[in-house]
Amino acid sequence: MTDIHPSSIIKPGAEIGEDCHIGPYCIIGSDVRMGNHNILHSAVVLDGRTTIGSDNKFFHAAVIGSASQDLKDKGDPTELIIGDNNTFREFCTVNKSANMDHPTIIGDDCLLMAYSHVAHDCRLGNRVILANAVNLAGHCELQNNVTVGGMSAMSQFVRIGQYVFIGGMSGINKDIPPYVRGVGLPFKVVGINSVGLERAGFSEESRHSIKEIYRIFYRSELNVSQAMEKTQELKPFTPEQEIFLEFIKGSQRGLLT
């Protein structure tokens, strides 16, 4: 049975699943579609064309699905899609997309800590962690299992590969390939995310193959084109090496070193 505090406002047309808890002073807009077992603690705002899965937790004063802050936003009925089992801590903000091309997307099992911000048209994969006060500009893409340290910021259209670890207070203005770690303002890649990969169950052989291709791009003093040619010596590529190379081939902003 869904429990709704009498001080909360549920606008006509909103759809709320089973066994949800909606605490005091929450506001749910008429275009919100919410699945089962979601918890809104207090003063949470869910707005816009927002579709939410199940088992999500929204803490005090989180604002989810609000209009983008893009000056080019024409007020179209754009969208935000959120998966399952995510946690949005206090004062977290997530904007819906700025245009109709594609929605803002947050996958499953993500943790967005207090004061973090996800701007319009961003795409977060599964098991992404944004620590306190992380700010993502529009159109950023964070693939699965990315961790971003507190008070870090990303420019528009930045892509972050899977299993990347970003230290706190970093500034990111270009793409970061999968499996690496780094920190700084500006950001500097310092090595492989060895601890994260081991915890995630990557075999020793897989981690070794990642180190091989990492050394070519980050320890050989070759430019990107030369490094791509050098990697042909590694054939046949492991699955991890293929993922690394495909990410680099798809980079539009260039790579951070």
116-131 pLDDT tens trace = 999 999 999 999 999 9
Residue 178 in any domain: the answer is: no
Q: What is the CATH number of the domain that holds 225?
A: 1.20.1180.10
Q: Of these residues, 31, 47, 108, 121, which one is catalytic?
A: 121
Q: Of these residues, 41, 60, 120, 139, which one is catalytic?
A: 120
- Give Cα separations from 177 to 181, 188, 212, 213 (angstroms): 10, 12, 14, 11
131 in the same domain as 202: no
- Told to judge if 254 belongs to the known catalytic residues of this protein, a careful annotator would answer no
Q: What average pLDDT does the structure give for the chain?
A: 97
Nearest to 164 by CA among 185, 142, 184: 142
Rounded to 5°, the CA angle 11-65-115 comes to 120
Q: Of these residues, 138, 161, 167, 182, which one is catalytic?
A: 138
- Told to judge if 121 belongs to the known catalytic residues of this protein, a careful annotator would answer yes
Q: Which of 92, 116, 139 is the last residue of a domain?
A: 139
Burial of 96 (0-12, 13-18, 19+ CB in 10 A): buried
User: Tell me, what's the pLDDT at 257?
Assistant: 83
* Distance in angstroms (rounded) separating the CA atoms of residues 65 and 93: 8
Strand, helix or coil for residue 229: helix
Model confidence over 59-81: pLDDT tens digits?
A: 999 999 999 999 999 999 999 99
Number of domains in the chain: 2
* Mean local confidence (pLDDT), 206-217: 98
Asked if 83 and 106 touch (Cβ cutoff 8 Å), the reply is yes
- Told to judge if 41 belongs to the known catalytic residues of this protein, a careful annotator would answer no
Model confidence over 161-177: pLDDT tens digits?
A: 999 999 999 999 999 99
Model-level pTM?
0.97
Asked if 36 and 17 touch (Cβ cutoff 8 Å), the reply is yes
User: Tell me, what's the pLDDT at 23?
Assistant: 98
* Mean local confidence (pLDDT), 9-25: 98
Confidence at 12, pLDDT banded by 50, 70, 90: very high
215 in the same domain as 104: no
Find the domain containing 229 and state its range: 197-249
118 in the same domain as 12: yes
Nearest to 197 by CA among 161, 248, 230, 228: 161
How, if at all, do strands 104-106 and 123-124 pair?
parallel
Confidence at 52, pLDDT banded by 50, 70, 90: very high
Residue 65 in any domain: the answer is: yes
Residue 175 in any domain: the answer is: no
